[in-house]
Amino acid sequence: MILTGGLKTLLPHVLRRIIQCNRLSISNTSGMVEGYKQANVVILHKSLADDFEKFCRANDGPLPLLYRSKPGDWKCPSLSSDSDIRTDCLQYRIYEHGACTGSLKSLKEYSEQLKDMVTFYLGCSFSSEKAIQNAGIPIRNIEQKRNVSMYKTSVPSYSISTFCCNLVVTMRPVPESTLEAAVLATSELKEAHGAPIHMGDPGLLGIQDLSKPDYGDPVHLHPGDIPVFWACGVTGIEAVINCRAPLAFTHSPGCMFITDLKNDNVTVRSSREVPQVHCISQDPLHYSIVSAEAAQKIQTLETLIGIDPGDRGIMHLRRQGELLKACLSMSHARSVLITTGFPTHFTYEPPEENDGPPGALAIAAILQALEKEVAIVTDQRAMNLNKKIIEEAVQLGILKRPVPLLSYERESADSALMFLCENGNPGRPRFDHLIAIERAGMAADGNYYNARKVNIKHLVDPIDELFLAAQTIPGVTTTGVGDGGNELGMGKVKDAVKKHIKNGDVIACDVEADFTVVAGVSNWGGYAIACALYILSTCETHDRYLRKAVGFPHLSKKTVWLSALPSVTKEEKLLKTLVRHGVRSGKTASLEMEVDGLPFYNTHSLMIEKLL
């Protein structure tokens, strides 16, 4: 038997010849013939071949098609010069009517059946291992002399005819400090599955126990390692199982076909396309990916809204990068709850100001366009007013459809948990993300104050409790948008509020959000969030990560998303609606076309134009 020592440096045709002679003591080809492409193998009856090719094209993350043979052709001239697919894999599996009925070292005894069968060669993540190592990142499974870990996920692939299955992934532990390097090293290696499709908690993929892979071997994580998941060609095996073909063959997972093709050292085309990695949640641990170009555009939005037209000192509250992280989190969310409403004008009816609702509706509109569930929670006393505003927003074309309107009252110690989760079960949250925009926030003494230090607690329902409860629910993240420090979520910057904002020692909100978006006017923060979500949705790097590299890019919906963004015309009509309902400017209590004492025309209208 030949041992593994020198196999890394062998030429592919030499290793295939050794495999043909069945003289190897290895159980997988990870780390073999470094720098050359390896391939997953699926062999099907010719009647299924066209549909399987379509399935591969529709799921090119896990199934990058390198070559499709003609029926009965055992060679693949574009991948290797002297190969024979019947003998050149370490081990094969045979499937009959969807059941694995055995493992084989050779398919020669099935030569007659193979005359009517087509072989698909699909890209493999083993091909990217050298690039990962060249980036200074250890390959733990090679260090531990094990096959890579492979897991079935809860992520459905894009179905074609009888081919349907959930995505299968490989997992490689990567030191946290090198996550971005791992993404960069693999992102352009499309034929080796490209960039990771998930980084962080395996439970977010439906994987319950990393120590029990569905294929391959368990691989030990070192302290500081993060589980990083790439799409895997074993997805093709799962599709073969589910289609229940009378007869099919595949490689045995980890026992790949070695090609003669070198992995070209691909470099990212420009600095704009360099992927960035950002942590968007600690519980569960979750990282996201975005292109440098998209991140820079969102940074520009954050800078635009950070001006201080009221000279309040908000520049001391700003935290760079919060807009990007907040919107990355929202982009991954399935269901979002928004709250707004600041009853600063306690001597008027209604007491609400007109900063907040327009920003909230701008966020709701883009979330609707992105096909996410969205609801608004507000004070019970303001339900009728908000219902009218939402109805008119639909008529004005700001919203595509009405947003469900909810109220929250504290009835017991677990009211917030019951509101946020099905039957109060933290494992079944109704919402993934909570957004507060210009929402009165509770101060350290339990009261709610406007900017003039007047206590308006009697007008405010305790929606803060939802944000406090969210801190205890895994998978629920929160964002606070404000312009003065007394808004819900601004607890994250309360020390700066107390130090730099007038009356800050009294009015500062004590309730934190995970992300704090500070703007000169809170509505601007809402508009910026809408624009940032549009930028993320049109970012190919982020879109691929979001859909886990299965299915087709969502960029065809760009026109729908664009039409959902705020515009000067929409916001002008909405402000007129608010004025008609008696909703006043925050600073002056005026019923004119102004917000926070600033004229709509040539101030707010210009900001909207800049953001767009």
Q: Given pLDDT bands bounded at 50, 70 and 90, which one contains residue 20?
A: low
Query: Mean pLDDT, to the nearest integer, of 547-552?
Result: 96
- Quick one: 368 exposed, middle or buried, by C-beta within 10 A (0-12, 13-18, 19+)? middle
What percentage of residues in the chain have a pLDDT greater than 70? 94
Residue with the bigger pLDDT between 400 and 31: it is: 400
Q: Is 455 within 8 Å of 449 (Cβ atoms)?
A: yes
Instruction: Decide if pLDDT at 3 tops 50.
Output: no
Q: Which range (215-229, 246-260, 313-327, 378-392) has the least confidence? A: 246-260
What pLDDT score does 1 carry?
37
Q: Is the pLDDT of residue 537 over 90?
A: yes
Q: Report which secondary-structure segment, H or E, holds 92.
A: strand 92-96
CB 51 within 8 A of CB 160: yes
Cα–Cα distance measured from residue 272 to residue 389, given in angstroms and rounded to the nearest whole number: 41
Tokens describing residue 355: 């900063």
Per-residue pLDDT at 15 exceeds 80: no
Q: Looking at mean pLDDT, say which of 22-26, 33-37, 130-134, 521-525 comes out highest.
A: 521-525
Query: What sign does the dihedral 421-424-425-427 (CA atoms) show?
Result: positive
Residues in the chain: 612
Q: What residue ranges define each of the domains in the chain, with the CATH number in brackets?
A: 7-124+238-262 (3.40.1640.10), 134-230 (3.30.2040.10), 275-611 (3.90.1640.20)
Model pLDDT for residues 281-311, shown as the tens digit of each residue: 999 999 999 999 999 999 999 999 999 998 8
CA 354 → CA 27, 351, 579, distances in Å?
67, 10, 8
Asked if 183 and 289 touch (Cβ cutoff 8 Å), the reply is yes
Check whether 22 has a pLDDT greater than 70: no
For position 4, what pLDDT does the model report?
A: 46
Residue 267 above 80 pLDDT?
no
pLDDT at position 271 is 65
CA-CA distance, 416 to 463, in Å (whole number)?
A: 8
The type of residue at 1 is M
| pLDDT tens for each residue of 300-353 | 999 999 999 988 899 999 999 999 999 999 999 999 999 999 999 999 999 999
Which pLDDT belongs to residue 256?
81
Q: Which helix (H) or strand (E) holds 153?
A: strand 149-156
Mean pLDDT is lowest, of 13-22, 255-264, 357-366, 556-565, for 13-22
Residue 269 has pLDDT above 60, yes or no: no
Q: In this structure, are residues 420 and 476 in contact, taking their beta carbons and an 8 Å threshold?
A: yes
Residue with tokens 């459905």: 156
- Distance separating alpha carbons of residues 546 and 562, to the nearest angstrom: 19
For the segment 428-445, the average pLDDT, to the nearest whole number, is 97
pLDDT at 2: 40
- 182-210 pLDDT, tens digit per residue, is 999 999 889 889 999 999 999 999 999 99
DSSP 34: T
pLDDT band at 83 (very low <50, low <70, confident <90, very high): confident
Nearest to 490 by CA among 332, 342, 354: 342
Q: Where are the beta strands (DSSP E) in 365-457?
A: 373-378, 405-407, 433-439
> How far is the C-alpha of 200 from the C-alpha of 289, rounded, in Å?
12
Q: In what order do the strands lie in the sheet with 149-156?
A: 149-156, 166-175, 225-231, 198-200, 285-291, 275-282
CA dihedral of residues 417, 419, 420, 425 (deg, nearest 10): 50
pLDDT reading at 489 higher than 90: yes
- pLDDT mean over 221-240: 96
The amino acid occupying position 453 is: K
Output the pLDDT for position 8. 59
Give the separation between CA 510 and CA 441, rounded to whole angstroms: 7
**Nearest 5°: phi and psi at 167?**
-60, 140
- pLDDT given for residue 393 in this prediction: 97
Average pLDDT over residues 257-262: 86
Fill in the DSSP letter of residue 525.
H
Instruction: Provide the residue type at 171 as one letter.
Output: M
Q: Assess contact for 19 and 89: CB atoms under 8 A.
A: yes
What is the spatial distance between Cα 575 and Cα 281, in angstroms, rounded to a whole number? 35
Q: Are 82 and 11 in contact (CB under 8 A)?
A: no
Q: What does each C-alpha distance from 118 to 45, 90, 245, 246 come to in angstroms? A: 6, 20, 13, 14
Q: Are strands 198-200 and 248-251 parallel, antiparallel or unpaired?
A: unpaired
Helix (H) or strand (E) holding 337, with range, is: strand 335-341
Q: Say whether the peptide bond before residue 202 is cis (omega within 30 degrees of 0).
A: no
